Structure formats: C-alpha cells, structure tokens
Chains A and B, each alone.
Chain A
Amino acid sequence: DADVTQTPRNRITKTGKRIMLECSQTKGHDRMYWYRQDPGLGLRLIYYSFDVKDINKGEISDGYSVSRQAQAKFSLSLESAIPNQTALYFCATKQGAGGGELFFGEGSRLTVL
C-alpha cells in the first residue's frame, strides 16, 4: 500500500458542483500539503498544514478550502468547481522543518466541464 493515498484518482464533474479530494498518510508525518500541477507551471502550492490546528494558505488558495481532520488526513474541497480548476492535484507529506524531502501521493486528476 502507498504511504500517501489520494482518493479519488480520477473525477469528472460539472461547473458549480462541490468536490472533495481526500488524502491519508501512514508515514506519521506532521506536515501535509496540497499542490496542483498544470502544464508548464509545475507544482503550485494551494494549502499546507503543519499540524491538526495549523492551516496556511499557499500561493493559489482562492476557490479552495481544506480540512485537517487528523494528523493522517488532509482533505481539499472545491466549493463550486470551475473549468480552470481542471488539473492534476497532489497531496504531499513531510516531517518537520528544514530541507527534507516531500513525499507525494499518486495524484488526483480532476476535470471540470
């Protein structure tokens, strides 16, 4: 089983619908992140959380919200999806501060029609 699991892996939805992407991890890491990948733009940070009571906005948080339900779970919500939120979304985890690596899930591909 993957250490960082994302569900669903693929989702097609319509404009205006509410969507939730879920992430769970078994690594025991304290920090969790949501990124989106768009061609040519790399990975851009949406939200991040250093522990259950700490939530921070990333560079592109508009239109998104998150919930850290437990240390191991971090979900991303699109309250009213729009077509330009069509992208590949990645959850990642990290232990502590400093330059250590992020561990990524396999991604959730979201298409908003």
Chain B
Amino acid sequence: VQLVESGGGLVQPGGSLRLSCSASGFTVSRYAMHWVRQAPGKGLQYVSAISSNGGVTYYADSVKGRFTISRDISKNSVYLQMSSLRVEDTAIYYCVRAWGGDWGQGTLVTVSS
C-alpha cells in the first residue's frame, strides 16, 4: 500500500489549491479515504472523508463550505479542493486510508501573503 500526496505549495489568503492523493496497492473504491492535517508544531486535525462508495462525505466545521473531497476511481486517486484559504489552513496535509492504518508522507500547504 502506498499513498502519495501532491499539490501543496504557497498560496495567498483567499486563494485555491487542489491536493491529490495517488493510491497504489489497493483500490480506493473499496475503502473510505480521509484527509488529516497538521499545522507546524501542532497536533493532528481531521479534515475530511469520503466513504467507500463515494456517496457520503464529511467535513470538519473549520473547512465546511470551503473544501471539497472527491475521488477518481479510474486514476485510483482522491482529491481535496481547497478554496477561500486562510492563514490558519497552513499545515501538512496527509491522505489516510480506511481506519488509519496507512498514511501518505504529506504535502505542505502554506497560506501567506
């Protein structure tokens, strides 16, 4: 099992960014997939999830209405579209499979002017 995140970078407040999580060794259509973030020097925060059938999504209150999780089964990938970004969204964003047994290496998102 391997999860590889990409798409992070520096963005201005109010801007947008799309994170990708490319999965290998398993099929994303068979597992719930999650995004967890970690601000610099801080703890872990649950961000979003998509169910195994893709029909149910979850968002933390802090990102609801600004972030959208999705997946592309043909590319075996999961995405996190982030808009109206705030300074407090600065963090490493991890892609996580199912019940938390597999994590990617993370991608750093920095929101700053």
Partners in one complex: no
* Chain B positions near chain A (C-beta within 8 angstroms): none
A residues sitting closer than 8 Å to B (CB atoms) are: none
